[in-house]
Structure 1
Amino acid sequence: MTSLLTFLIAGILLVAVDGHLLRRSGTAYLRELGDNAGPLNQLVTVVFHLATLGLVALIAILPMDLGGEPKTVVGRIGVLLLVLAVAHALTIWTFGRIRARHESEVLTAEVARRS
């Protein structure tokens, strides 16, 4: 039971820290969107938090015995870090896609205006 609580606390802290970093990065990535930047940033980071916290819960209940509680907690945290890396990359990719789409729309509008 102690190892489960230790993992859950560590997992929630890791997700919170990474989510905070993503929120700050999202603000920089989406700055050009003007008034839409805040809500889009919040939407993407909320999805990140919900998905990764769900993964923390699932990893916590996976059967894993690595030869004692400390090794099992470290193993679970290792799996979580790998999952967080993928989730972080997907979130940054999403910010990039939103930004690229906005830039494309601005460019299309500019070309239409000049025609």
Structure 2
Amino acid sequence: MASLMTFVLAGTLLVAVDGHLLRRSGTAYLRELGDNAGPLNQLVTVVFHLAALGLVALIAILPMDLGGEPKTVVGRLGVLLLALAAAHAVTIWSFGKIRTRHESEVLTAEVARRTS
């Protein structure tokens, strides 16, 4: 039971730290969206937090015995870190898609304005 609680606590802490870093970088990355930047950043980071905490819960209950509690906790943390890396990459990709879409809309509007 102690190893489960240790993993859940460490996993939640990792998700919180990574989510905070994503929120800060998302704010800077989406700054040019103006008033929409804050709500979009919040939406993407909330989805990240929910998905990542779901991963923590699922990994915590997976049957895994690596020869003792310390090894099992480290193994679970390793799986979690790999999953968090993937979730982090997907979140950054989402920020990029939002930014690219905005830049495309701005460019289309500018071309339309100049050709009218």
How far residue 93 of structure 1 moved from its aligned partner, in angstroms, is 0.3
Whole-Å separation in 2 of the counterparts to 1:18 and 1:85: 9
Which residues of 2 match residues 8-23 of structure 1 at below 5 A? 8-23=8-23
Q: Residue in 1 aligned with 2:104?
A: 104
SS of residue in 2 equivalent to 1:67: coil
- Asked whether 1:55 is paired with 2:44, we answer no
What letter is aligned with 1:94? S
What letter is aligned with 1:10? A
Whole-Å separation in 1 of the counterparts to 2:89 and 2:54: 17
Q: Which runs of 5+ in 1 are unaligned?
A: none
Q: Work out the number of aligned pairs and report it.
A: 115
Identity of aligned residues (%): 88
What letter is aligned with 2:56? V
Which residues of 2 match residues 1-115 of structure 1 at below 5 A? 1-115=1-115
Q: CA-atom RMSD, angstroms? A: 0.2
Whole-Å separation in 2 of the counterparts to 1:114 and 1:105: 14
Stretches of 4+ aligned residues off by more than 2 angstroms? none
Q: Which runs of 5+ in 2 are unaligned?
A: none
How far residue 42 of structure 1 moved from its aligned partner, in angstroms, is 0.1
How far residue 114 of structure 1 moved from its aligned partner, in angstroms, is 0.1
What letter is aligned with 1:96? G
The two structures have a TM-score, normalised by structure 2, of 0.99
Whole-Å separation in 2 of the counterparts to 1:103 and 1:29: 12
The two structures have a TM-score, normalised by structure 1, of 1.00
